[in-house]
Chain A
Amino acid sequence: MPLFKKGTTFVENLPKIYGLYTGGFLLFFALMAWFETLGMKADTIGILFVGFTVVIYAVIGWLSRTMQVDAYYVAGRQVPPVFNGMATAADWMSGASFVAMAGGIYLGGHAYLAFVVGWTGGYVLVATLMAPYLRKFGCYTVPDFIGTRYGGNLTRFCAVIVLVIASFTYVTAQINATGTIAARALHVPFEVGVWFGLLGILLCSMLGGMRAVTWTQVAQYIVLIIAYLIPVFWMSTKQGFGAFPHLVYGEAVQKIMELEVVHQVGVLKPTGDIAGQFPGLKALTVLHATPGEGFIASWRFVTLVACMMVGTASLPHILMRYFTTPSVRAARTSVAWSLFFIFLLYFTAPALATFTKLQLLDPSLATSIIGKSFEEVSALAWIKNWASIGMVALKDFNGDGILQINEFFIRGDIVVLATPEIAGLPYVISGLVAAGGMAAAMSTADGLLLAIANALSHDLYYKIIDPKAETRKRLIVARVLLLFIGALGAIVASFKLTGILGAVAWAFCFAMSGLFFPLVLGVWWKRANRAGAIAGMVLGLTAGTWYLYMVKWGGMKPWWGMDDLRFGIIGASVSLVAMIVVSLMTKAPDKETQAMVDEVRIPRGETILGSSH
């Protein structure tokens, strides 16, 4: 019997294809676990995991090659909502989410959960304010919407600028992450790892554009979510919290709160020049589940949440995923599915952080290290491994030979990667986690690179520079740009300018400063016009960038505790005011534009822009 019935389309066969793929991946995992018991080396397992998955993505990318404009830009608008949800989730969850989030919660406690809330709740804005309307519009890129709704090349150009600044800031962080993981798993220097990562990323997107990125992102989501969940389920079963720990880890949180008193978390602080001695490492000094008291603590929490949420709804590589669904209705359900798939990882991260912390703090567990002798702890295999590459450090400040809470230093980024080793799980789990981290970073980098290259090729080259260019030429330009921007990203990434998380938060703030209000008001306020949109983009971006510069390098005291991660609040506020004031001072948009907005507001009927434009 043939595997796929004759006469069925690719889309109809999707559940079967990805079902087989998931089964195949689990089989590969089981095979690796078996090889490990036969004595295969840990390094070999790591190489096989990363190598095997990257080759699969490249094959999918090659199979999805295309020379059609709508397939290249919007995957032919035939991606079913559930699959688009998975692709968006992979697009969304970056190396930072996968690798750094649980570690951030481990070190930062409640305050860090602002990222968890912000990176999920933003989808409510996407669904209610944006995605369905942009889908109805039928644009290929986000500047395509701005340029058509408000009219004028300058408007389009401003949108391209904001998009490039925000997405490029973000993509360097992702290429950096692929480089870090590839370097570790394949045992090559970081600089080589970066180029290897970039090669994988380009293989997924070059030939097939959005179509190829869509189907590789679905494959990458499956790998990353399996890689995130299996260690947590395994660990929680081992610790007696059952196979599904999410509802019952409250006990573990309470236990930690009791142990924090015993170990004097937040009371004992490391002394001396820690940053100079152990760069990037931190001791645990923040309480796990206790929020900061007072106005500033609450204010800092909600402003970070606001930046991440509004940024979510302004990031072009996310918005453009909803251009690929077959209908407006499908775009809406697709946002819901996206959030569901993202939620699976984000509500696991705090559980993972909690379990890892408990393992280190709870003296009744064999894995605990706090309160034990230095001799005993420094002999542990995982401490030795990570300490040798400077990711973990111990220092006996008070010289009593016992490890206190302020004498153990760890880099937040490694908590997820090291957890399987801390818990004493077999190495095959570490290989799996490395493959997951790689999938997360690659899929986000792909989406971002494509967003930049598409905006430059479609909006700048085709719409502004050479509107008569033929299809072939347009698609070749798009690919050349992809290659060029990817290489530029890799070069910048190899300088390691900012930490992964800092760069990510900045990208959100740039996007919200320039794009949020021009996008929202374009649908929700008919009176918004070209002059207003340009003012909103230019002044918003300028104000945000100015504030970032002043706070980060200019020595200005942050207003109300809003540091450089929150500059989007300033940028977006200025953008809103500028856009309203300038719109009202200038002429209302013409009849035609108003009719266009009316058309965008109802799902029925043709898209505003033709299916191939």
Chain B
Amino acid sequence: MIGAVLAIAGAELRIGIRNRWVLLSALILLAFALVLAFVGAAPTGAVKASPLTITVASLATLSVYLVPLIALLLSFDAIAGEVDRGTLQLALASPVSRSAIIVGKFLGHLIVVSIAIALGYGVAGALVVTLAGGGSAGLVDLGRLIATSIGLGAAFLAIGYVASASVRQTGTAAALAVGIWLAAVVLYDLGLLGALVADSEGTFAKSVFPWLLAANPADAFRLYNMAALDTGTAATGLSGLGEALPFPPIVGLASLCGWIVLALGAAALVFRRLEP
């Protein structure tokens, strides 16, 4: 069982490296990170935080947009595309459970995403430290950002598999993936913002809104990272985010983990009903 999972993961990793997925996503992350670090950090002026911490704060926002996109692009094709092209039939005929196939693909894709994030953000962080100074301060923040970005990628990989297993055509799966990205990353926030404007002092803003934020994996990721940065420095510009929440920031992390487990389970369930 473990052997089969690792074999599938290994194959996915190999494919990710050979079709330049790893390289391309790392380069995209690095390019955006460098723009944010060197152009976006200019107006911070005399903030007491280290340059690296400030960069990490802007990278967290970058992650919210880019990492789900990269993860969904990797996963939308995983099942629908392979059924479409006929490459999945042999695996389905072999004595491996469908859950093992999903977990194997997840592991392989997760390694692809992890390499891309670690490479992109790692190189950007190293450049910031070398060029802007500030020493090793903020390294913990960068490490936390990389680790949680990988978690964010994992959640959207799993969500992408649910989409991929529920439709028969790659094209439909792609459209679904784009829809999911738009809804989770853009529309959800817009909706919350609208509701907040309509009722800025009521019970919604105080007790419902934070929980709704934590319920979306992308927002949960942002919440946790900003709150963690906030406890040490004033890098985010949001005053006392940690105190304003009705729950500890770790809930954001828990939400992310919950999404990974739930979506993977849902993907396995939907996949089990697929008739190739």
- Our verdict on whether A and B bind, yes or no, reads no
* A contacts, CB < 8 Å to B: none
